[in-house]
């Protein structure tokens, strides 16, 4: 009598997950490092942090009691 291992759902899902991860790795490796264009002049400094813009101030006025 020949014994065979039945197909296991866990094995299938594991193989599918590994195959998907391998495909993603291949796409990322094929793209390589993105190139950044050199600029002659420095970039303008963008303000960081919280800024109360016009629509924010309008909202604040609607919340006053």
Average pLDDT along the chain, 65 residues, taken 10 residues at a time: 69 82 78 63 70 91 90
Helix, strand, coil distribution of the chain in percent, nearest 5 = 50, 0, 50
Taking the CA atoms of 18, 21, 27 and 31 in sequence, report the sign of the dihedral they define: negative
**Angle at CA 28, nearest 5°, toward 26 and 34?**
145
pTM for the full predicted model: 0.35
């Amino acid at each position: 009598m020949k014994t065979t291992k039945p197909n296991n759902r866990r094995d299938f899902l594991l193989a599918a997950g590994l195959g998907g991860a391998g495909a993603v790795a291949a796409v990322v490796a094929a793209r390589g490092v993105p190139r950044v264009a050199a600029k002659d002049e420095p970039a303008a400094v963008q303000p960081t942090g919280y800024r109360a813009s016009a629509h924010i101030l309008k909202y604040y006025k609607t919340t006053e009691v």
